[in-house]
Amino acid sequence: MGEKRLSRRAAELRPSPTLAIDARAKALRAQGVDVISLSVGEPDFDTPAHIKDAAGDAMRAGFTKYTPASGIPELKAAVARHFKATQGLEYEPGQVVVGCGAKHVIANVIFALVDEGDEVLIPAPFWVSYPVMVRLAGGTPRIVYPDGESRVWDPDSAHLPPAGAGFRLSPQVLAKGLGPKTKMVILNSPSNPTGEVYSGDEIKALAEVLKGHSAFVISDEIYDALVYGGKTRSIAAVAPELRERVVVVNGVSKAYAMTGWRIGWAAGPQWVIDAVGNIQSQTTSNPTSMAQKAALAALSGPQDCVEEMRKEFEKRRDLVVEGMRKMPGVACASPGGAFYVFPDVRAIAENARARARLKMGGEGPRGFSQALCAYLLDEAKVAAVPGAEFGYECHLRFSYAASRESLGKALDRVGAALASLQGA
C-alpha cells in the first residue's frame, strides 16, 4: 500500500469554520438537544415557488444534459440585464461567466489571476474563505485592518484593533497596504461578517487610490439586494476607468434564498472571464442545468419576493441589535446590509471572572472568541462563529437569518449566559 501523504496544500487546508460549527449544531439537534444555530449564512426562507417551478419545468422538458461550461446564453444575458438594471453597468453576455455559486466563481477568478509570489490584499474583517482560496492558488493573503495593521494571513493569529476603529477600509490604509507584489484587492460590500455597506463616495475614494496601482479588484457583491436604507454602489460603476481591472461577483444564493442551488456569476474583462470559463471546463464543467433555468426565472421573474425577504431581515436586524445592546459587556453596531451582526465583546475578555470560567490564561485576547463561542454552545445552546475566523479577536458573528421567535429565544439565552459568565 502506498504512503498516505496529502499534498502540502491539502494538508494545510481546514474545513470552513462556519459550516463546521453549523454541522456540530445539527449533530446536537439530532441528539435531541434544543440548539439554535445562528452560525451559517443561509436565509431560512424557502426558494420562491415560481423559481422552483422553472426547475421542474426544465427537468420535465428534458433539460438535464451538459450545457456550455460557462453557463447557458440566456442566463448570461439575464445577468447582464440585471447588472444594467441594478448598477447601470453595461456588460455583454460574453463578459459573464456562470459558476457553481459565488464562492466557486471567486475561487476561479483567483486561480485565473494569482501566481506564486503574488499578494492579495484582504481587508479585515473578511469572509473566512478569501485567504484560504488565495493560499490554494499559491498566492500570499495579506490582511489589512482599519487601524493600519498589515500582516500576512495566519489562521492561528487574529488582531484586535482599538475600540472605535470600525470595520471599513480607508483610502489611507489601502494605500499603505498596497505594494509591488500586490496582484489583487478583494472588496466586499455589504460585508460578511459585519454587514457594513460602503457608500458610493467611500468606494470612489478607494478607487482613487487604486488608480495609481496595477492591482486587480474582485468586488464581492453577493448581499447587494439586502440593504437597509439606500443602495450599494459597485466600484465598477463609480470608477469606470478601473473596469478593465475589476471583476464583479454576485449570485442568487442570498437574494432569492437559493443557497443550495449553487449558481453564482462574475462579470469583467473578456480575457479574464474567458480564462475562468476555461478553468471551469477542465474542473467542474457546467453548473447544474436545471439550476441555471431556476436562476433565469429568479432574475427574469417578479422581484417582490426579494423585497419581502429584505423587509423581514430588517425587522430581525433591529430585534437582534436592540437585544445585543442590552447584554453586559457587549457593544453592537447596527449593520447596513446582509444578515449578520458582529458584536464586540472585548469588555468580557477583560473581565477576570469570565476569563477564569473560560479557563483563559494570561491577559491577552488570543483565543477568546473561540472560547466564548464554545461556552455559548455548551451553556446557552446557541451556535455563533468566533470573530477570530474573520481575522478579528474579541468579536462574534451571529446570523439573523432565522425566525423572530428563534432569535428572541436565542437572545434571552445568550444574555443570561453572558451575565452569568461575568457575575452580572
Amino acid in position 360: M
The residue assigned the cell 455548551 is: 378
Average of per-residue pLDDT across 387-409: 97
Tell me the three cell numbers of residue 189. Answer: 460590500
Gap between the terminal Cα atoms of the chain = 59
Indicate the domain borders of the chain: 8-46+305-422, 63-300
Fold agreement (8-46+305-422, 63-300): no
CA triple 395-398-402, angle to 5 deg: 175
- 389 Cβ partners below 8 Å, 6+ apart? 17, 18, 128, 369, 397
> Is 242:211 a contact under the CB 8 Å cutoff?
yes
Amino acid in position 408: G
C-alpha atoms less than 13 angstroms from C-alpha of 138 in its C-beta half-sphere: 8
Report residue 40's pLDDT band, with 50, 70 and 90 as the boundaries.
confident
The per-residue pLDDT for range 311-324, each reduced to its tens digit, is 999 999 999 999 99
User: Does pLDDT of 363 surpass 80?
Assistant: no
The per-residue pLDDT for range 255-270, each reduced to its tens digit, is 999 999 999 999 999 9
The per-residue pLDDT for range 41-59, each reduced to its tens digit, is 899 999 999 999 999 999 9
The residue assigned the cell 456540530 is: 24
d(CA 318, CA 303): 24
DSSP letter for each residue of 324-352: HHTSTT-B----SBTTEE--B-HHHHT-H
> Span 8-46+305-422: which CATH code?
3.90.1150.10
**Predicted local distance difference test score (pLDDT) of residue 230:** 84
> Is 253:101 a contact under the CB 8 Å cutoff?
yes
**Predicted local distance difference test score (pLDDT) of residue 27:** 87
Nearest to 100 by CA among 365, 277, 311, 364: 277
- For the ranges 24-33, 139-148, 270-279, the lowest mean pLDDT is seen at 24-33
Report residue 227's pLDDT band, with 50, 70 and 90 as the boundaries.
very high
289-300 helix and 49-60 helix, angle to the nearest 10 degrees: 140
Report residue 3's pLDDT band, with 50, 70 and 90 as the boundaries.
confident
d(CA 391, CA 397): 12
- Say how far residue 282 (Cα) sits from the centre of its chain: 26
**Predicted local distance difference test score (pLDDT) of residue 385:** 95
**Predicted local distance difference test score (pLDDT) of residue 343:** 98
Considering the segment(s) 63-300 as one domain, its CATH architecture is 3-Layer(aba) Sandwich (3.40)
**Predicted local distance difference test score (pLDDT) of residue 366:** 87
**Predicted local distance difference test score (pLDDT) of residue 361:** 77
Average of per-residue pLDDT across 346-363: 91
Nearest to 47 by CA among 249, 293, 221, 231: 293
- 413 Cβ partners below 8 Å, 6+ apart? 36, 380, 381, 382
- Burial class (CB within 10 angstroms; exposed 0-12, middle 13-18, buried 19+) of 362: exposed
Q: Which carries the bigger pLDDT value, residue 380 or residue 365? A: 380
The per-residue pLDDT for range 139-188, each reduced to its tens digit, is 999 999 999 999 999 999 999 999 999 999 999 999 999 999 999 999 99
- What does residue 254 show for φ and ψ, rounded to 5 degrees? -85, -45
d(CA 108, CA 103): 9
Average of per-residue pLDDT across 125-151: 97
User: Does pLDDT of 335 surpass 80?
Assistant: yes
d(CA 62, CA 145): 51
**Predicted local distance difference test score (pLDDT) of residue 159:** 96
- For the ranges 19-23, 35-39, 266-270, the lowest mean pLDDT is seen at 19-23
For the chain, the residue count is 424
Own/partner pairs, 235-241, CB within 8 angstroms, 24+ separation:
235/187, 235/203, 235/206, 235/207, 236/87, 236/89, 236/267, 236/268, 237/87, 237/88, 237/89, 238/200, 238/203, 238/204, 238/207, 239/203, 239/204, 239/207, 239/208, 239/210, 239/211, 241/211
Question: What is residue 387's DSSP assignment?
Answer: G
Average of per-residue pLDDT across 351-369: 89
Establish whether the linkage from the previous residue to 125 is cis, with ω within 30° of 0: yes
Give 40-108 as a 3 state SS string. CCCCCCCCCHHHHHHHHHHHHCCCCCCCCCCCCHHHHHHHHHHHHHHHCCCCCHHHEEEECCHHHHHHH
Average of per-residue pLDDT across 56-71: 98
pTM of the model: 0.95
Nearest to 182 by CA among 262, 245, 264: 245
Report residue 14's pLDDT band, with 50, 70 and 90 as the boundaries.
confident
Buried b or exposed e, range 8-40, using 16+ CB within 10 angstroms: eeeeeeeeebbeebbbbbeebeeeeeebbbbbb
Report residue 2's pLDDT band, with 50, 70 and 90 as the boundaries.
low
The per-residue pLDDT for range 236-253, each reduced to its tens digit, is 999 999 999 999 999 999
Question: What is residue 363's DSSP assignment?
Answer: S
The per-residue pLDDT for range 82-104, each reduced to its tens digit, is 999 999 999 999 999 999 999 99
**Predicted local distance difference test score (pLDDT) of residue 420:** 97
User: Does pLDDT of 288 surpass 80?
Assistant: yes
Amino acid in position 361: G
CA distances from residue 44 to 41, 111, 228, 277 in whole angstroms, order as listed? 9, 32, 18, 32
